[in-house]
Structure 1
Amino acid sequence: MKVGVVLPVYHQEREYIFECIESMEKQTFRDYKLVIVLDGPNDETVSAIKEASKRLTIPYQIIDRKENRGISPTLNEGFKLLHDCPYLTWISSDNRHDPNFLERLVATMDQTTPETVLVYSFYRRIDENGKPITYTKAWYEYVEYFMTRPKEEIFQNCFIGCSFLFKREAFNKAGGYRDKFPNVQDHDFWIRLLQHGDFFLLREYIMEYRFNGKYALTTNIPPEQLTMESMASSIDVRKQIGNLPKVSVILYSHNHVNTIKYAIQTLQQQTYRDFQLIVIDDGSTDHSPDAIHSTHDSRLVPLLLQHRGKTKSLEIALQYCTGEYVLFMTGEDWLDPEALRLMVQKMNSLPLNTELLLSNHKIWYNRRGRLVPGPIITGQSYTSSTSNESNLPYAVLYRISSLKKDLSNAVDSLVENHFFQLNRKNNNTHWMNMALYHKRI
């Protein structure tokens, strides 16, 4: 068989199972085998699977396992039985597939370059009753924009979706699915698959994804947990392949929709390129998350959190740092284009016991939408505690190996000063007299 399809099943609605299997029976492409792996489902689900599968006229096999092991082991078990199939995919038991679903994916894979290891397509959404979810034209434009990305951006966003076909050879090289990140096993697999070839987008809608189904993972797992686990997977793979930038920039945003894009742009325009950009959205109620997701940069590590407060958000972000040095920013501020280059160059020249590099920051006053220049605050003034927003220690490069990360007693509005005072010791700081950070007040 040319194509192997795995259908993993835990608990599922009887109606959804029949609709899913019927849609696979109606496939115009017939050179495929279906392996249904029952991952310890309830009796009603088992009964529905066995009854619905009787309608299949293509080769199929049912693995009736009583023990629930999770999605990754279940997929690997199914794909192991499809070892002779050069193309592989898997489907969810609550989705429906157009008759040309496999035909279009296979034809596209056949027509792409030999380096292509994954073909994926657009998909439509249906509700729990199987009715189409109606969205505006602008929404569809956004989805197509979101899914049309350079393959390297899979590190920051899972833009593949639920309609895909990949090569068996690449699957083997990637090591199959891992249980290390059980709630985002698909994103984790795409990131690892990226290391073995190219991705190709088929710009057609060839299946239906059921939104808010009773047993859907995205229904039962909080978005914050999915985001954090996805980025943990991303960092894990980056470490495996040696993608370890020298600097980690942590950019904090809460309702900074009017300024966050510019803050990110000033980082993208840095003459120094070897850094990761961890952008935290701390439960914004404006469109800040959209601005973050629209950023095209494989160095980006987006963390979309519930509203945790600045202190807790920074604690979380520090868990994702891979750099030797760390710089903190806020979504309303920006950097001079030479900032990172000059600070890293200076830090590299200093003794290893130098743990904090201070520079200066320039104040800008926001007056009815117009920025009015203010004073330059020197790094020398950081050495004393302050409760003045304009005098907080913003322009500081920390050496992560000596960074104390306990912020339990910090006040959100003064967290920069708390961090600085916590990590400052005698003779472990160096000041460079340059204004490299711009603070909007």
Structure 2
Amino acid sequence: MSFSESRFQQGIEDLLCNGSDASERWTQLAQFTRVAYQKDAREPLICAALHYILKSPKGDLFGIAITSDEFQGVAGDNIFQQGYDRLNSDRRLTDLYVYTLEKYALTFGSNQYISTSNGVKRAALDLESFGSDLRLDHQQSPIIPVRMRKVTNSEKFFTDKQYSNWWEDSQIRVKGYYDDKMLFFTIQSDTSPAWANNETPKIPLYFGRFSSFSEDNGDNVALFAGTYEGATKKPIMPLRKDYYSSPGSGISNIIVRQSKYGARYQAHYLSWNATPAQFPPNQGGSLRKTANEINRYPFNPSTYSDQVEASIAYIIHPEDGVYGSLSNIILSNHLSILDGDELEVQTAYCHTSSENSEAHDHYDDYVVTAIDSACPFTIIGSTPSLPTLVAVRKNKPTYINSELTNY
């Protein structure tokens, strides 16, 4: 599976919808271009967005969009064509926008255009306002802006002078796991053109159901992502939404579709068994001495058993408390564990007996990834300790590592 900058949306769709296991395949609910333009302007601002809406086997909707830059057009009957042409000739390939909806009316699946006085990019990404037809029942979430790498102001594509060494066919590395309920990927642009100063960080993307500790039917979903540190972390709200307090951003916190008691898309946070805030301690003196301060901390890997302290990732709300935990992900401290290492997590304990002499303990394999973008794993307030090491479940064929197929 290959992912390039110009075909990243299509790559994600191909991955989810064409898997080898039919029970894990997602479906494309809609694909369309939406063009928004400034209302009652002679030279209106225009912005176009290409949307893909994917549906998990459990029925949850995940949207991923890219946009053109906002540009000044000409009023007239061909506004949609102006936006469509700009989207195909000068789209910003490094910026993604992800969201979820509770439903989407298929009658709006074809190409659309809308006039607005509330910001053309916001209107192009909104999926609740269709001219005079309002569909607030779509319940679109706050839209998360994801910037995959540093972008200079002079970087342009499709021009006679190239200001960047990233190209349309530059490869994006995707690793992670998906099944019929959720997906978790890490995304990283080509690091060769700018490998220093964290200009091409690893971006997490989580969407789907989580393990709920509440008395619901387990069909709630969580959504969060990451972004380049210098990019905006503020979500884009749908045109008809302005939540009173603490809406989820998906970058500094986690968006949960519905809280324990009914509020939609409120900010939730991570909680996990973290090390003390002063960790790692002063490592002066010989590490072999038992009196060395590092040996007083139980979270570093054991020299004797090679075991590591790990924790599930709890989803909590400041008022409502613990809601559940992220699926197929565990968290740990980064010390002495490298990107790509594998952890075995014991999930079942079996004891041999005269009746069952061949019983064995059961383990799940997890692959470690170090995430260094701005996201709920790294922003203080959403996570209790820095840095956080993330390990994702490895379960073929739905464990994905695009590096294994590109070379």
Give TM-score scaled by structure 2 length.
0.26
Structure label with greater radius of gyration: 1
Greater fraction of residues in strand: 2
Bigger fraction of residues in helix:
1
